[in-house]
């Protein structure tokens, strides 16, 4: 059984490797004006992530030409941690990888009392 679990973890890591485009963004947040949520949705829909096998990644979007950082995915707990520098400040973002396969994945970002953000990505 232990060998199967180790292989499963490797498969999940392999599934993460590649370039992923955000295809859906659903922010279910309280207290945020609709125009701000719509602006965030439009920006996020331009975002892509390239995850490399050496646990480095690049994030690109309409206003980010390429932030590089480190990623760690723990399949057992479904935690994906992204560490990078944004606007000269260290940034850590944590997602729950709700679903992952060779073509798509779904992330959830818990914003505590504000609510949740749901993101769907497709592999390019």
pLDDT in tens, 79-89: 999 999 988 99
**9 pLDDT band (50/70/90 cuts)?**
very low
The number of CA neighbours under 13 Å toward the Cβ of 35 is 0
Three-state SS for 37? Answer: helix
Q: Give me the CATH number covering residue 57.
A: 2.40.128.540
Helices (H) and strands (E) in the chain, counts: 2, 8
∠ at Cα 120 (47, 41), nearest 5°? Answer: 50
pLDDT of residue 87: 85
pLDDT in tens, 25-63: 999 999 999 999 999 999 999 999 999 999 999 999 998
**How many Å apart are CA 27 and CA 38, to the nearest integer?**
9
Average per-residue pLDDT in the chain? 90
Neighbours of 123 (CB within 10 A): 16
8 Å CB contact between 81 and 94: yes
Which domain, by its residues, includes 99?
A: 2-123
pLDDT of residue 86: 86
Count the domains in the chain. Answer: 1
pLDDT of residue 12: 60
In our burial notation (b when 16+ CB lie closer than 10 A, e otherwise), range 63-97 reads eeeebebebebebeebebebebeeeeeeeeeebeb
The pTM score is: 0.87
């Amino acid at each position: 059984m232990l060998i199967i679990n180790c292989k499963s973890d490797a498969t999940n890591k392999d599934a993460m490797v590649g370039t992923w485009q955000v295809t859906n963004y659903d922010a279910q947040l309280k207290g945020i004006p609709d125009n701000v949520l719509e602006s965030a949705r439009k920006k996020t829909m331009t975002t892509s992530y390239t995850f490399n096998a050496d646990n480095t990644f690049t994030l690109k979007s309409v206003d980010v030409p390429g932030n590089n950082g480190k990623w760690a995915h723990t399949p057992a707990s479904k935690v994906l941690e992204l560490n990078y520098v944004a606007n000269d400040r260290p940034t850590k973002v944590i997602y729950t990888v709700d679903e992952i396969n060779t073509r798509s994945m779904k992330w959830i970002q818990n914003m505590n009392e504000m609510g949740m953000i749901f993101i769907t990505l497709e592999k390019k």
